Structure 1
Amino acid sequence: MQSRFIGLWGVVLSCVLVAGCATGPSHPALAGAQLPELIPVRDFVASRQSTGGYRVSPDGQHIAWFGTDGVVPAIWIQSVDDGDAKAFRIRARSIRFSADSRWLGITADPTGDENTRIYAGPVEGPGTDLRELMPAPRSVAHFSEAVEGSGDFIVTSNQRDKKVFDLYRVNPAGGAPVLLATNPGNVSWWGVDVSGQLRVRARLQGDQTLLESPGAEPGTWQVVTQRSRWETLNIFGLHDQGRKAWALSNRGRDKLALVRLDLTNGAEELVYASPDVDLDNVTLSRRTREPLVAYSMPGYPARKVFDPALAARLSALAGYQPAEVLVTSADYTDRVLTVAVATDRGTRNYLLRDGQEPKFLGENRLSLISKDLAPTEPITFTARDGLPMHGYLTLPQGVVQQQRLPMVLLVHGGPWARDRWGDGATSRAMQQFLANRGYAVLQVNYRGSSGYGRAHMEKAMGEFAGRMHDDLIDGVRWAVERGVADPQRVAIYGASYSSCMA
């Protein structure tokens, strides 16, 4: 009886909260504002028309993307020339094609317990059956690399020992996984090149991570270089028969930069760095394995395009507004690309083919309602101890500054994370929902946030509930002094680490 009583009150409370979400703003500062109509809550969280995550096959003949089949989450595949499409009905986390373009690899968490599983389905033909590639109960598997000249994938799995990940080669067409390397208990990463060869590994030893390459004798390893627990060395794009790789590194510097890493001696050659912030990621050419684009987020998005012709094509997609223009996949010739154009009001996706106009592929749920969403601007202020602070301010449409609006301080978790301007921000839907209801939304990348270099992160040491919290208060004071926020109507919202701040 008691459980029924509690359950009834839970339903009543949910109804009250949803009803409150449909109530328009009533703050005096908004009385004369030309606010847009309230967007239904459902449009912020789900849409059957929403699509994203587009990928082109290595042969340039097919595209795959995230969408829905009816009301069921699905991964779709279709010819680039708009042939018959088919759907794999699965709630996926990520997708990737095999190197021979015959198979689509899918990562999913079907039970919601973070035990991610990996599957493969055929690209050609009407079949939509998926084969699980590492079918061990209560284990985790991830794709590592697609092997050139075959349909095989290199994957990692903890099916042997739940504490560590071993390295396997799997054939989507069938057969048992082939064990390539057994984890001795302290290997945190396996480095495999596109030929499927194991070239390097990262092994933990105390507070150091040792980068090791295979030794002269089978089963032996030799140290190439090392990094401390306070440094970052994210390695990708192994090439030159495993002698070189690309990496985002802050060894010997404050901010993550793109370097070419020599895997024979650990030397780094600096290729590109932002003077203001860490680099976020880098897209490599499929054809040459050289960098195509490097991305960063100093305020509005920034990109360094290494090919002038490609730079012009990407700028044309962005137009005259700030945008994060992401090359999300390419065929083997780099002549067929999928590109995501992300703004503070959603993401639109395009297919780029040499000699043809960009082809619009689809857009996500925020982009579908973008005309009623609010713009976000980067802001800076100085904390009470003189440390520069960066963040973002979103004001409701139809209002101007200096109106002392009700404001929500929307705090990111982590703390080793950051708020971003583009649609990739984890709280973007919440931010736009609040702005649509008449709130100003302030986001602060307080000390300890990632993206602004090691020094900014390390200033959080010993400052939990101390200066990290002061940074948030200083941000609110900045908004009040600027006339943006009503000091009597400020709320704070957070989840994970930021729930502690709230």
Structure 2
Amino acid sequence: MGSNRLLFLASMALSGALQASDAPTTVPLEDFNRHAEYTAVRISPNGEYLAATAPIGDRDVLVVLDMKDLKPIKVHQLPDNKSIAGFFWAGPDRLMFTATRKFGQFAQPGGTGEWYAVDANGERPRVLVTYEGTTTSGSTSFSQRVSPVSALREDASRVLVQVTTGTGSEEGDRAELMEMDTFTGRMKRLARAPARNCDFVLDADDKPAFANCADNKDRDSFTEGHGQVYRRADGDWTKIFDSRETAGRLRVSHVDPDGTVYAVQHDNAKPNVMGRLDPQTGAFSPLDSDPRVDMLGEVIAADGKTLIGVTRMPGKPEVRYIREEHPDAQLLAQLSAAFPGQYVSLGGATLDGNKMVVSVQSDRNPGEFYLYDKSTKQARYLVSTRRWIDPELMSEMRPFTMTARDGVTLSGYLTVPKGRELKGLPMIVNPHGGPHGPRDMWGFNPEVQLFANRGYLVLQVDFRGSGGYGKAFEQMGYGEWGGTMQDDVTDATQWAIAQGYADPERICIYGASYGAYAALMGAVREPDLYRCTVGYVGVYDLRLMYSEGDIRESDTGGNYLESVIGKDRSKLDERSPAARASEIKIPVFLAAGGRDRRTPPEQTDAMEAALIAAGNAPRENILEPKEGHGFYEVPARNNIYSKMLAFFGEHIGGTVTVGESRTESASGGSD
């Protein structure tokens, strides 16, 4: 029996108990708001342990499980309310991990710079890099950043790290490749970067082979600069690429055991291209490209060294194989066939490559992890991210493309309520946050699934300015907050109406962060299109971005603001919902976190005051004093979403039951 058939049977056995009819079933509100049980999952090099991050309270811990019975043998956690973020196996039974602080649902966690090492069973713990930036040997200063580059997994005492020293000068930072002792924190220098602002790329023998560098000295804005690639041979660096001398940018991404060098090229306009690089001449040979979307990542074989493919997401995620003949490429293809309609990816593997973690996820499946054994060709279920979610009760996320009023092609997703015909549905338009860099992605989204479960069609569109579609598409949004970016959201809404998907009399617009800005500007610009609007941890007064919040606190952030919203006061007012509150005629719902540093509550205060002055006070204005950029605690999340659903139900509810929840789990799971 083939391995794909075995895996298919395994997946059917796991999901068989959760089969449900096509009739809509109301899933408890709490089930969508509970945090994932496990996130990243990695097997130890010797195959004896499984390590995974897991939330406990308001922070993430590192759990080590015994592979024999999957019972926890140790829980590693940090003091001072810090969470464990990135981690990896530094050896057969030794872990390294770093610390972070959480700032809310929509904020990027802020790394503290600390690194720790500990044995799987909790013995021989060691602080390697402290918050103050010093190691136990005193070799690292506060201005230095330590980033692991390679784990020498057969030797738990050594890892390779890049130490980047901030110089504070216009020329930029200096990097060194160091060997770190995971028991003492002491370091030994292996190589210095050839220029400023460099990142090392190692070959398959963990030797420094290339350096990708950036020269920002004469850059025109925060997004522009020049790039160089250096090759190292016999201890000497030779420059083989300079963007000042040729069009576009180039960076080396990977070196295979056979010496093949892979690089990613882009021309500051179109989506990036993956290809091979001649290490002697710097000549680039394209292998994979897509006219619409950037490459998301690389697919690495079980040996941790061989590149077998890349992933892109033109709608749903796709694996583009670079080495189709490789056994792991063939295995991945078999695994993907065993889980139709889902995205299968290879995780970490044992040192001998015989056992590997396989991740399976989709728009309806939050994520499951399996252990695949190459010798037996069988898959063993390990853990799920949200085991209480029944995929059979979730809703389909359908990719779409459309044409904006000026001819620009836009992509997005429609999440269709399970059991409902895609026709005349009440709809929530949900512009994403960011806005420059992020994009909407196909996959399980608890918030979107909650709305769909309550009967709403959810529309998400990647308006111009979104990331992932090439630099030109992203830069089309600079200076267009409230302008063509807003037009794209409007055009997508009108498109859904024209297709007959949405009931034009039952549409609300909701977003968080920048999405909240777009939701309120939508109410300003299109007073007759939406029946209600919701802004969650949003920005509403563009002038305030120069005086409140953390973006303005760095030179890069200041340059960003000048590039994307400008400094013209009259235009800032014209593009600010708070300055145009008198034009908002529909009901408004607002929510903010008292500890939000990205879009501080002063933004919501300004919006509320302007609406009150205009005679349209918000129907709800929730302030959670202890929350940040998005609510993290489950009670706070339950509160806001229950009130939000009641708000939607009042204005576009129709025949669909909204806002209700049960306390029991839909699938019988428990904490």
Q: How many residues align?
A: 458
- Conserved? CA contact 1:237–1:284, under 8 Å: no
CA offsets, 1:299-349, max 9 Å, x none? Answer: 122113424754355544554642211112223443322111110121111
CA offsets, 1:363-395, max 9 Å, x none? Answer: 112773434322111112111112222100112
**CA 1:69–1:487: 2 relative to 1, 3 Å:** closer
Report which stretch shifted further, 128-137 or 177-186: 177-186
CA offsets, 1:76-109, max 9 Å, x none? Answer: 23344337632222532222112x4242121221
2:289 to 270, 273, 291: 273
Structure 1 equivalent of residue 383 of structure 2: 362
Residue type of the partner of 1:273?
S
1:165-314 superposed matches below 5 A? 166-167=175-176, 168-180=178-190, 186-193=196-203, 195-205=205-215, 206=218, 207-214=225-232, 221-227=237-243, 231=248, 233-239=250-256, 244-251=260-267, 254-274=270-290, 276-287=292-303, 289-305=305-321, 306-307=324-325, 310=328, 311=330, 314=333
Distance 2:516 2:263 in 1: 33
Distance 1:280 1:53 in 2: 18
How far is 1:184 from its partner?
A: 8.8
2:403 to 352, 362, 382: 382
**CA 1:212–1:180: 2 relative to 1, 3 Å:** same
Distance 1:233 1:46 in 2: 39
Question: TM-score under structure 1 normalisation?
Answer: 0.79
- Conserved? CA contact 1:406–1:489, under 8 Å: yes
1:109 to 88, 100, 116: 100
Whether 2:45 is the aligned partner of 1:54: answer no
How far is 1:45 from its partner?
A: 3.5
Unmatched 5+ residue regions in structure 2? 1-21, 104-109, 134-141, 219-224, 520-671
* Matched position secondary structure for 2:40: strand
1:118 to 92, 115, 120: 115
Structure 2 equivalent of residue 20 of structure 1: none
Residue type of the partner of 2:85?
R
- Higher-helix-fraction structure: 2
Structure 1 equivalent of residue 87 of structure 2: 95
Structure 2 equivalent of residue 350 of structure 1: 370
Structure 2 equivalent of residue 142 of structure 1: 147
* Matched position secondary structure for 1:358: strand
Structure 1 equivalent of residue 500 of structure 2: 483
Structure 2 equivalent of residue 37 of structure 1: 26
- Conserved? CA contact 1:147–1:194, under 8 Å: no
**CA 1:489–1:409: 2 relative to 1, 3 Å:** farther
- Conserved? CA contact 1:36–1:398, under 8 Å: no
Identity of aligned residues (%): 23
CA offsets, 1:434-471, max 9 Å, x none? Answer: 22233221111122323334443344355443322211
- Conserved? CA contact 1:278–1:296, under 8 Å: yes
Structure 2 equivalent of residue 28 of structure 1: none
- Conserved? CA contact 1:93–1:108, under 8 Å: yes
1:149-168 superposed matches below 5 A? 149-151=154-156, 152-157=158-163, 164=173, 166-167=175-176, 168=178
Structure 2 equivalent of residue 8 of structure 1: none
- Conserved? CA contact 2:127–2:185, under 8 Å: no
CA offsets, 1:43-93, max 9 Å, x none? Answer: 42325xx22322123344433222357997322233443376322225322
**CA 1:445–1:179: 2 relative to 1, 3 Å:** same
Residue type of the partner of 1:171?
D
Unmatched 5+ residue regions in structure 1? 1-32
1:5-84 superposed matches below 5 A? 35-41=24-30, 43-47=32-36, 50-67=37-54, 73-82=60-69
Structure 2 equivalent of residue 340 of structure 1: 359
CA offsets, 1:109-142, max 9 Å, x none? Answer: 158643232222213xx32564222225165433
How far is 1:260 from its partner?
A: 2.2
Distance 2:512 2:70 in 1: 44
**CA 1:408–1:251: 2 relative to 1, 3 Å:** closer
Residue type of the partner of 1:115?
T
**CA 1:274–1:343: 2 relative to 1, 3 Å:** same
**CA 1:446–1:102: 2 relative to 1, 3 Å:** same
Report which stretch shifted further, 72-81 or 386-395: 72-81
Distance 2:295 2:353 in 1: 23
1:418 to 439, 444, 465: 439
Residue type of the partner of 1:192?
L
How far is 1:157 from its partner?
A: 4.2
- Conserved? CA contact 1:45–1:429, under 8 Å: no
How far is 1:283 from its partner?
A: 1.7
- Conserved? CA contact 1:155–1:170, under 8 Å: yes
**CA 1:287–1:471: 2 relative to 1, 3 Å:** same
Whether 2:466 is the aligned partner of 1:449: answer yes
What is the root-mean-square deviation of aligned Cα atoms in Å? 3.4
